[in-house]
């Protein structure tokens, strides 16, 4: 099953000590890239979070946001009593009218916000569990989008194969039409002139045109690429890079067919096949 590179997943975990919220957003990228936003003091969790992401995401930019709201006793910022006592001793020599609020605002009296997180038991394990849950939600969304994309690409492949069949049917008539037009032009040019053109010369010219405009090999390769593309749509693993390569090869074959086919009907089919292949190429840029 195909999986889209874009998606969103979120999860929350609550206890009497903290509320943990995780959001994961993914966007297109040819490579794997992680951007994490964690509270200060939780840098150690980044490695574990990236490991969880790499287990299920092969490419794309992954934005992870983690917020932690301490609750209960864990939400109380500790007071550094030794620092506060030292301030009081020093200030007693100058004034005795400094308010408690002013004392608490002095540098070092209150613990930093990072200290709040150290009082929460099993915090990293809880964060990892929330990330895993958010990742499951993300992947469900990416799977659903990938499935819809696969259906659309399968329909495009059917259209391409129908147009390949139309070109195959038309191709033999192109040589016959060229032979008839060539004979008409020669007769018009030689009308009233005592010059004849032997059949062998005409045959050689028609044979040269037939070889130059033959697109059977390109059609065969294009059809083969379409078959491989369809097989990859049902692949269980990441197939985005392979699909991109196949779409590129399909476009190259179509260009060659367009340059070799000297026929308005085939040219119209080629234009429509190019449009269809472009749709495939656009889709593959969003497939993991």
The string of pLDDT tens digits covering residues 150-198 is 999 999 999 999 999 998 888 777 655 555 565 555 555 545 554 455 5
- For residue 105, how many other CB atoms are within 10 A of its CB? 10
Q: Residues 6 or more apart from 170 whose CB is under 8 A from it? A: 263, 265, 266, 269
pLDDT at 183: 53
Q: Rounded to an integer, what distance in angstroms lies between the CA atom of residue 217 and that of residue 225?
A: 12
pLDDT digits (tens, 9 = 90+) for 46-95: 999 999 999 999 999 999 999 988 876 655 566 666 766 777 777 776 66
Q: Residues 6 or more apart from 120 whose CB is under 8 A from it? A: 17, 18, 68, 70, 74, 126
pLDDT at 1: 77
pLDDT at 216: 77
- Calculate the alpha carbon distances from 189 to 97, 192, 194 in Å: 117, 9, 11
CA angle 218, 248, 59 (to 5 degrees): 150
Q: Residues 6 or more apart from 227 whose CB is under 8 A from it? A: none
- Calculate the alpha carbon distances from 89 to 48, 79, 92, 102, 123 in Å: 46, 17, 5, 15, 38
What average pLDDT does the chain have? 81
pLDDT at 118: 60
Q: Where does the pLDDT of residue 275 fall: very low under 50, low under 70, confident under 90, or very high at 90 and above?
A: very high
- By percentage, how much of the chain surpasses pLDDT 70? 71
């Amino acid at each position: 099953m195909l999986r889209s590179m874009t998606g969103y997943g979120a999860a929350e975990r609550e206890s009497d000590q903290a509320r943990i919220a995780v959001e994961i957003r993914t966007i297109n990228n040819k490579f794997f890239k992680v951007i994490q936003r964690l509270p200060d003091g939780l840098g150690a969790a980044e490695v574990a979070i990236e490991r969880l992401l790499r287990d299920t995401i092969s490419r794309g930019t992954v934005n992870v946001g983690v917020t932690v709201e301490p609750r209960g006793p864990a939400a109380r910022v500790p007071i550094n009593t030794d620092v506060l006592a030292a301030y009081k001793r020093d200030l007693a020599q100058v004034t005795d009218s400094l308010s408690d609020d002013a004392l608490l605002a002095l540098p070092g009296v209150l613990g930093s916000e990072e200290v709040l997180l150290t009082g929460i038991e099993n915090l990293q394990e809880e964060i990892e569990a929330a990330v895993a849950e958010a990742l499951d939600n993300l992947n469900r969304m990416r799977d659903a989008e990938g499935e819809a994309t696969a259906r659309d690409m399968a329909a495009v492949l059917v259209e391409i194969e129908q147009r390949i069949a139309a070109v195959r049917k038309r191709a033999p008539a192109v040589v016959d039409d060229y032979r008839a037009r060539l004979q008409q032009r020669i007769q018009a040019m030689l009308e009233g002139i005592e010059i004849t053109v032997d059949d062998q010369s005409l045959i050689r010219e028609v044979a040269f045109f037939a070889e130059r405009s033959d697109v059977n090999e390109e059609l065969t390769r294009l059809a083969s690429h379409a078959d491989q593309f369809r097989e990859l749509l049902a692949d269980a693993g990441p197939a985005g890079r392979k699909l991109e390569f196949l779409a590129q090869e399909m476009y190259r074959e179509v260009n060659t067919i367009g340059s070799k086919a000297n026929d308005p009907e085939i040219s119209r089919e080629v234009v429509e096949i190019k449009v269809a292949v472009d749709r495939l190429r656009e889709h593959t840029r969003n497939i993991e």
